[in-house]
């Protein structure tokens, strides 16, 4: 799950001077959620970790006056200036309690994960400085992350409630998202899609535009401390411009999304079907219409673990009754998964984030579908089959349903009933340790005219992609869960 990414906004400059380190207010911000606006920090000039002051934060559109050593500092009113970070003593960081995270379910997919495109070693001057900084902090990434949160929670304690009480499974999400976006600053199309998804998704955390400057100051403070060997005024200015661009895309996406969708949906559990001792099919009824596409996923929060969100794929295509189903496997020490499997009952109310994910069917073509689902990864595969059926197309759909044991084929009866109903559908169960799963796919085919869909454990995704490429399916026709994100969010 992503931590609430709260970034700054502006016009891509630092006071128009090109060398400062300030942040601007966003030109457009989402409305606050129910319950009122979060507390705003008191005024004060932000400092870096070494005590070096960062230039004042000005509203967008206000340019900095020409430098004049004899001129007094400008006096901004409360209406004109976003409050700066509190000055604070050097923070100490106490590690949060740790626990084994939940295992990845059948999401998230690539749309919300780190983009596959890697930045070029060359690029714009800002991109080069950003990459140089990233190379410098690479060996001490854990220290950068810890220090970043230490700064954030020390200087801005009012932001702490946006994060779960235990930070062990998502401590690094916010910083990773920011740094990923910064690396892609020269790849505008990829960057925009990545950040728009984040901006929309982070509405559910209660992220507001006034949080963005605070996070920006702490980001700069952390980078300047641990990349001191390459840090200078030009590098700081490059990061300010980069961060400004990042935040504005996110804020604009959130503001646009606010016009058509709530920040979250309440959903009542209407049925709880325990298929095995550790796998349940949970069906919920949202409190208002919930638009999504087959193959997508959502984030889900339970009342037992507030502010801890996990990703689950929809286990069916959109239904006329509006109900949503999820396949959940409980794993050792998995907070949300165990709550859903062992504690959730009809009448309990969950919260759902916005739908996301790009593992959807292109209905403008008649290409066949080759679907590989392992474990609870069969959930979105089942949804894709239903989606094809509802569109009335007789395009071939080949499903390989993988599991370690017969016991783990918890939804095989459903899949076989679908096969009996639709002559264009073939379902092949594969029971092994997943290592031979791709080999079973190679035995059939050819698959060069098929679009491939994979969902399941990271190891299956990796081997499955290799197998599909070996049999001639282009990478652009393979859609799957992001392996990197699955490993990072093994929750």
- CA dist., res. 169 & res. 3, Å (int): 10
Q: What is the pLDDT of residue 168?
A: 61
CB 184 within 8 A of CB 117: yes
Please give the chain's pLDDT, 491 residues, in tens: 333 332 222 322 223 333 333 332 333 333 444 443 333 333 333 333 333 333 332 333 333 333 333 333 333 322 222 233 333 333 433 333 333 334 344 433 233 344 444 444 568 899 999 999 999 998 998 899 889 989 999 999 998 888 877 666 556 677 778 788 888 888 888 888 888 888 888 888 888 888 888 889 999 999 999 999 999 999 999 999 999 999 999 999 999 999 999 999 999 999 999 999 999 999 999 999 999 999 999 999 999 998 888 899 999 999 999 999 999 999 888 889 999 999 999 999 999 999 988 899 999 988 999 999 999 999 999 999 999 999 987 899 999 998 888 888 999 999 999 999 999 999 999 887 555 666 778 788 788 889 999 998 887 888 888 888 888 888 889 998 664 444 333 34
- CA dist., res. 131 & res. 484, Å (int): 20
Q: What is the pLDDT of residue 255?
A: 93
Q: What is the pLDDT of residue 172?
A: 66
Tokens 């207010």 found at = 25
143, exposed or middle or buried, with CB in 10 Å at 0-12, 13-18, 19+?
A: middle
Q: What is the pLDDT of residue 436?
A: 66
CB 21 within 8 A of CB 10: no
Q: What is the pLDDT of residue 178?
A: 79
Q: What is the pLDDT of residue 461?
A: 84
Q: What is the pLDDT of residue 36?
A: 39
Bridge partner list, 297:
313, 356
Q: What is the pLDDT of residue 98?
A: 31
Q: What is the pLDDT of residue 447?
A: 87
Copy the structure tokens of residue 483. 């392996």
In this structure, what are the phi and psi dihedrals at residue 360, rounded to the nearest 5 degrees?
Answer: -115, 165
Bridge partner list, 479:
453
380, exposed or middle or buried, with CB in 10 Å at 0-12, 13-18, 19+?
A: buried
Rg (CA), the chain: 24
Please tell me whether the overall predicted TM-score, pTM, comes out greater than 0.75 for this model.
Answer: no
CB 340 within 8 A of CB 369: no
């Amino acid at each position: 799950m992503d931590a609430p990414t709260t970034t700054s906004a502006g016009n891509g400059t630092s006071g128009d001077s090109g060398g400062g380190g300030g942040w601007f207010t966003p030109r457009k911000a989402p409305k606050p959620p129910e319950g009122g606006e979060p507390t705003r920090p008191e005024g004060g000039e932000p400092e870096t970790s070494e005590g070096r002051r960062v230039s004042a934060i000005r509203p967008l559109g206000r340019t900095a006056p020409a430098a004049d050593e004899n001129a007094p500092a400008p006096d901004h009113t409360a209406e004109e200036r976003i409050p700066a970070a509190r000055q604070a003593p050097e923070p100490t960081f106490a590690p949060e309690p740790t626990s084994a995270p939940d295992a990845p379910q059948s999401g998230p997919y690539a749309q919300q994960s780190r983009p596959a495109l890697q930045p070029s070693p060359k690029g714009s001057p800002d991109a080069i400085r950003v990459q140089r900084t990233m190379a410098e902090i690479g060996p001490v990434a854990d220290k950068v992350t810890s220090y970043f949160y230490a700064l954030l929670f020390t200087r801005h304690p009012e932001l702490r409630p946006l994060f779960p009480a235990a930070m062990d499974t998502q401590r690094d999400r916010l910083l990773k998202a920011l740094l990923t976006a910064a690396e892609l600053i020269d790849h505008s199309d990829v960057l925009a899609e990545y950040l728009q998804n984040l901006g929309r998704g982070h509405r559910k955390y209660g992220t507001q535009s006034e949080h963005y400057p605070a996070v920006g100051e702490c980001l700069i403070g952390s980078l300047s401390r641990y990349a001191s060997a390459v840090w200078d005024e030009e590098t700081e200015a490059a990061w300010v411009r980069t961060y400004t661009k990042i935040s504005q895309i996110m804020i604009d996406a959130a503001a646009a999304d606010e016009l058509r969708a709530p920040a979250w949906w309440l959903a009542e559990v209407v049925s709880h079907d325990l298929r095995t001792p550790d796998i349940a099919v949970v069906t919920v009824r949202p409190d208002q219409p919930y638009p999504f596409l087959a193959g997508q996923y959502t984030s889900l929060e339970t009342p037992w673990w507030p502010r801890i969100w996990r990703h689950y794929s929809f286990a069916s295509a959109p239904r006329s009754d509006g109900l949503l189903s999820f396949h959940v496997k409980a794993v050792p020490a998995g907070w949300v998964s165990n709550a859903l499997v062992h504690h959730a009952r009809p009448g309990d109310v969950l919260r759902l984030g916005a739908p996301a994910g790009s593992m959807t069917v292109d209905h403008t073509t008649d290409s066949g579908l080759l679907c590989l689902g392992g474990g609870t990864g069969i959930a979105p595969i089942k949804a894709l089959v239903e989606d094809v059926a509802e569109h009335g197309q007789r395009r071939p759909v080949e499903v390989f349903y993988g599991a370690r044991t017969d016991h783990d084929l918890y939804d095989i009866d459903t899949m076989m009933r679908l096969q009996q109903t639709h002559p264009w559908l073939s379902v092949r169960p594969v029971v092994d340790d997943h290592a031979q799963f791709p080999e079973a796919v190679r035995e059939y085919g050819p698959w060069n005219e098929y679009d491939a869909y994979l969902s399941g454990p990271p190891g299956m995704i990796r081997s499955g992609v290799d197998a599909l490429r070996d049999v001639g399916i282009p990478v652009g026709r393979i859609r799957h869960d992001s392996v990197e994100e699955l490993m990072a969010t093994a929750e």
